[in-house]
Structure 1
Amino acid sequence: MRHLTLYTTLGCHLCERLEAMLSVLHDGKYRLEKVEISEDEALMARYGVRIPVLVDEAGDELDMGFEPPRLAAWLSERHCLDEAAWQRLGAQFVPQEAQDESKRSTQRPAERRYLG
C-alpha cells in the first residue's frame, strides 16, 4: 500500500478536487494522510499559497495536483496511474489548441479560388 500525504486546509475546494481525482486515477491501494497546515506556522509559511500539495513516500511534492494532467503525469512517474481511467478522462483535458490542430490535420485543405 502506497502512503501519500496531502497538505491542506479546511474548506479548500482545490484539495477536494485533488482527492476526487486521486481516487479515480490512482491504480492500487493507497493511504492518504491529510495534514492541516493552518495549525502550524512553519507549514503555513511553506505551503500556504501552494496547497493542495501531494507528497509521496520519498518526499517528492506535487503542486497544483488538482489539474488532472499534472496529477496523471505525477502518478505515472510513480507507476501507479490507472491508465484506463486516464484514457476515459484524459480527452476532456486536451488543450483546445491541440484539438484544433488535430481537426486541421484531418481536414482537406480548402481549394483556392481566384477572382479574375
Structure 2
Amino acid sequence: MQNQLILFGTQGCHLCEDAEHLLQALDLPYEYLDIIDDEKLLQRYEISIPVLMQKSASNPKELYWPFTADTINHWLKDN
C-alpha cells in the first residue's frame, strides 16, 4: 500500500498554493486539510504551513516549508 500524502494549509495562503502546485506538477496524489477546520491542527501548524505529511501506519513524517520538487522527491525516497 502506498503511503498517503497530506498537505496541511489554509485558504488564502499563497505558500500553500505553491505547495499544491508542486504536488500537482509531480503528479502526486494527496489530501488537502485546511487547518482552520480543526483546533488541534491549527495549534500545531498555525505558523508552519504548508506542511506535507507522509502518513504511514508505522512512522508518519513531516516536511516543512520551504520545499521544492527535488526536496519532495528526496524526502519520499528516504521514507
Same fold flag (TM > 0.5): yes
Q: Going by fraction, where is helix more abundant, 1 or 2?
A: 1
What percentage of residue pairs aligned between the two structures are identical? 33
Structure-1 residue corresponding to 2:7: 6
Q: Secondary structure at the match of 2:29?
A: strand
With the length of structure 2 as denominator, give the TM-score of the two structures.
0.75
Larger radius of gyration: 1
Q: Secondary structure at the match of 1:49?
A: coil
| Structure 1 residue 49 displacement after superposition | 0.4
Report how many residues are paired: 73
| Structure 1 residue runs of 4 or more that deviate by more than 6 Å after TM superposition | none
* Residue 48 (structure 1) aligned to one of 43, 46, 49: 46
CA distance in 2, matches of 1:43, 1:77: 22
Q: Secondary structure at the match of 2:15?
A: helix
| Structure 1 residue 2 displacement after superposition | 5.0
CA distance in 2, matches of 1:21, 1:77: 14
The answer to whether the 8 Å contact 1:7/1:36 transfers is: yes
CA distance in 1, matches of 2:63, 2:45: 11
CA distance in 2, matches of 1:16, 1:77: 20
Specify every segment of 5 or more residues in structure 2 that has no aligned partner in the other structure, as ranges: none
Q: Going by fraction, where is strand more abundant, 1 or 2?
A: 2
Q: Secondary structure at the match of 1:17?
A: helix
Could you give the per-residue CA deviations for residues 5-59 of structure 1, whole angstroms, max 9, x where no partner exists? 01111111101101112222x3xx5321111111221111100000000001331
Specify every segment of 5 or more residues in structure 1 that has no aligned partner in the other structure, as ranges: 80-116
State the superposition RMSD in angstroms. 1.9
Structure-1 residue corresponding to 2:32: 34
Structure-2 residue corresponding to 1:73: 71
Q: CA 1:12–1:76 in 2, change beyond 3 Å: closer, same or farther?
A: same
